[in-house]
Amino acid sequence: MISISLNNERRECDANLALAELLPLWGFECEKIAIAINGDFIPRSQYGDLRLNAGDQVDVLAPVQGG
């Protein structure tokens, strides 16, 4: 297990799982979110292959009202 930051909250996760496998465990649906890791955009096409590293900062964003 490794420790990462998910939307600025500490989480423990299995380093062997791909991002696409972690997201449902965290309660997210891939098609309704966009992701950045350590400030860099991660295209949806990479979720299946990408594995997190300890200390990664993951931002999971969804649509909101804007001006």
- Contact positions vs another protein (CB under 8 A): 7-8, 26-29, 32-36, 39-41, 43-44, 59-67
- Please state, in angstroms and rounded to a whole number, the distance separating the CA atoms of residues 67 and 13: 36
Tokens of residue 9, six digits:
């909250």
CB of 56 to another protein, least distance (A): 15
Contact 19, 44 (CB under 8 A): no
Tokens of 67: 């001006």
The distance of closest approach from Cβ of residue 32 to another protein in the complex, given in angstroms and rounded to an integer, is: 4
Contact of 6 with 37, CB cutoff 8 Å: no
C-beta of 49 vs 64, nearer to another protein: 64
